[in-house]
Structure 1
Amino acid sequence: MTSNQNYLAVIKVVGIGGGGVNAVNRMIELGLRGVEFIAINTDAQALLMSDADVKLDVGRELTRGLGAGADPEVGRRAAEDHAEEIEEALAGADMVFVTAGEGGGTGTGGAPVVARIAKSIGALTIGVVTRPFGFEGKRRAAQADVGVSALKSEVDTL
């Protein structure tokens, strides 16, 4: 007899950057089940605090584990440098949710890379992002706009 487990979609939730990893941590705290959680960050210390099933410390050589410094280009390069590790973590997924806080470095620059990899393995790819508050400034808002546009072009829906 075949179990129903054989017919369930494999869903993975990827939090990238500080905001994305915080979102994943909150979902875990709330007891969300039936998905695999993946935390990706350039900030090694923040990554240690995550309870995600899989933790990927990206950009070790680039940032020395100290974060992307709110630079999306650093976030993008960090994710691209670890594309094989990200692909391994996403392997087998039918659906991937990519969550990030837009406007900073790792999430803004890295989320489109994660989404591109997810789509390349055939997973339905959904982006879920937050935008910065007005008081965070025009620069962060402008970076968020660019990041949202970049992510939108890589996901099935945002």
Structure 2
Amino acid sequence: MTQRWNIQAKRDATMQNFAEEVEYKPVIKGVAVGDEACNILDTLIELGIHGVDFIITGTERCQLEQSVASVKVRLGHVQPRITLNPHEMTGADCESVKHIGKALADADMVFIISCLDDACGHDATVRIADYAEGIGAGVMCLVALPSHHEGTAINGGAQEALGILQSRHSVLVLPNGILVRSIIGGITDLVTKQRFVGIDCVDLKESIFRYMDIKVGVGMASGGNRAVEATKMALASPLLAGFDVAKAQSVVVSASVGKDASMEDFAGVDRLVRENVPDSTDCTIGLYNNGETGDQFAVMLYCCDSQKYPRKALIPQLPESLENDNQADIPPFLRT
């Protein structure tokens, strides 16, 4: 009797573990780097993005104190640039890095928002992106470049940082901050909301996050032929001006609608997208419930190009002079 009870207990425990695995939801982080990006992130929090934890980093103490984000990390409060070079790192830099590392340690996907509007932001954006990808997270950098009136030094540094980011990570250059909610939400909602046709986190890492150059098109439509019309708008979006969708190596479609979704909607999107790209293009299409009551159909089209090359040793180790005996306070990827 005891043996039979033990077998049943093991079965129950196995089923419970299986249920926990099935219910697992990816951990998604949104990181704002720099004071201007913090304003964008605060707006995102107010608008609401389902299933995303937000972190802000900046140089101004008052900016951090006023932010509604739950995790705040101050950068560059000893010197104007945060350095992650083991030979130049100060104790203050070490503390900043440890806080960022702890905040990102369990992330599956990381969206980094940066306006590259100061020297600290240039350096920190690159380093944080390197760290996030180094721990295995899918990383996308949403970058808004500073305006020309901010001076040659700021713009020159921004272009240099952008070049480094584009050589290592998935980068989408923003025409303005208004689109950030749609761009991030179009990806995160695919894995956090009720799905009619699902895409999981692994699929997204393969179809978006392993490409360096990303362009996005947006389309919305209502009525009887809404899915096809919204897809046409996305394919012809001004945001894709100068980019040939047919040359994309990967295309990801994030489609959303209310509860009245149908397979006819999905089939219309799938057919039209595949008609516009060659058979060699990797097409991934997801359809989810946006929770709205109307019949509006929305399409976010992510066109990805320039596949990443395998990289190693992006994450420097902490210098011995800054180490302490409390290894538990140092994220795993920073331990020597």
Q: TM-score range by the shorter chain?
A: 0.7 to 0.9
Where 2:23 maps in the other structure, the secondary structure is helix
Instruction: Report if the CA contact (8 A) 2:29-2:107 is conserved.
Output: yes
- Matches of 2:133 and 2:40 in 1, distance apart? 22
- Candidates 103, 109, 115, aligned match of 1:89: 103
Match of 1:146 in 2: 160
- List per-residue Cα deviations over 1:80-125 (Å, max 9, x = no partner): 5322221100011100011111131222111111111101110001
Match of 1:101 in 2: 115
- Matches of 1:135 and 1:157 in 2, distance apart? 24
TM-score under structure 2 normalisation? Answer: 0.40
Q: Structure 1 residues 154 and 52 mapped into 2: Cα distance closer, same or farther (>3 Å)? A: farther
1:115 aligns with 2:129: yes
CA apart distance, 1:36: 0.2
- List per-residue Cα deviations over 1:67-91 (Å, max 9, x = no partner): x3xxxxx144589532222110001
Instruction: Report if the CA contact (8 A) 2:165-2:171 is conserved.
Output: no
Q: Structure 1 residues 76 and 155 mapped into 2: Cα distance closer, same or farther (>3 Å)? A: farther
Q: Which amino acid aligns with 1:141?
A: N
Structure label with greater radius of gyration: 2
TM-score under structure 1 normalisation? Answer: 0.81
Q: Structure 1 residues 138 and 84 mapped into 2: Cα distance closer, same or farther (>3 Å)? A: same
Q: Which runs of 4+ in 1 moved over 6 A?
A: none
- List per-residue Cα deviations over 1:117-155 (Å, max 9, x = no partner): 101110001101110112223322211101112222342
Q: Structure 1 residues 106 and 22 mapped into 2: Cα distance closer, same or farther (>3 Å)? A: farther
Q: Which amino acid aligns with 2:165?
A: L
- Matches of 2:22 and 2:58 in 1, distance apart? 31
Tell me the percent identity: 31
Where 2:125 maps in the other structure, the secondary structure is helix
- Where in structure 1 are there 5+ consecutive unaligned residues? 69-73
